[in-house]
Amino acid sequence: MSAEQVSISLPKRILGWIKQLTLLLLIVIIVTSVMDIWRGKDIPRDNLPQLQGTTLAGEMLDIATLSQDQAVLVYFWGTWCPVCNFVSPAVNQMSAYYPVVTVAMNSGEDEKLRKYLQHQGYGFDTINDSDSKIARDWSLQATPTIMIFKDGELKHYTTGFTSLPGMWWRMMFT
């Protein structure tokens, strides 16, 4: 093969790769969107249950009140959840820029949860839902689940793995 043939075929290969990556990305977006809809089918849209509780720091939080002036990210997770190990660091990063409240489901007693958060270096506000009552009230079926509230209304939700850019996007366009 001559140098001229190689130089012509390389741009065609790159274009082919870009087309394949674009198609793959589109398929991933469609599949994850369908999964979100299916896993979130039981999440209430109207007559929302209250989402409030006392954080491990002893602060009483009410998401409806907290979300009146700005969007609030609410993160349902568990120390036992393998996917949460990948999402929690991104949520922690978000907490430096936006109000974030997390609800730890079935993650043990307060002191055990405090030690876990400290060991991981997480600084987000956490409500310990040790008996998963809050999660049941919201009919959650998957962890992690991320919800975005604004003006007391649920604006966005997603289940399973969520990337930092995905969280930024949801918060910025709420």
Domain layout of the chain by residue ranges:
1-39, 52-172
CATH class label, 52-172: alpha beta
The 10s digit of each residue's pLDDT in 49-100 is 788 999 999 999 999 999 998 999 999 999 999 999 999 999 999 999 999 9
- State the average pLDDT over residues 12-37: 76
* Predicted structure pTM score: 0.76
Tell me the C-alpha to C-alpha distance, in Å, between residue 48 and each of 10, 34, 35, 80. Answer: 55, 23, 22, 27
Residue 44: the pLDDT is 59
Pairing between β-strand 100-105 and β-strand 72-77 as defined by DSSP bridges? parallel
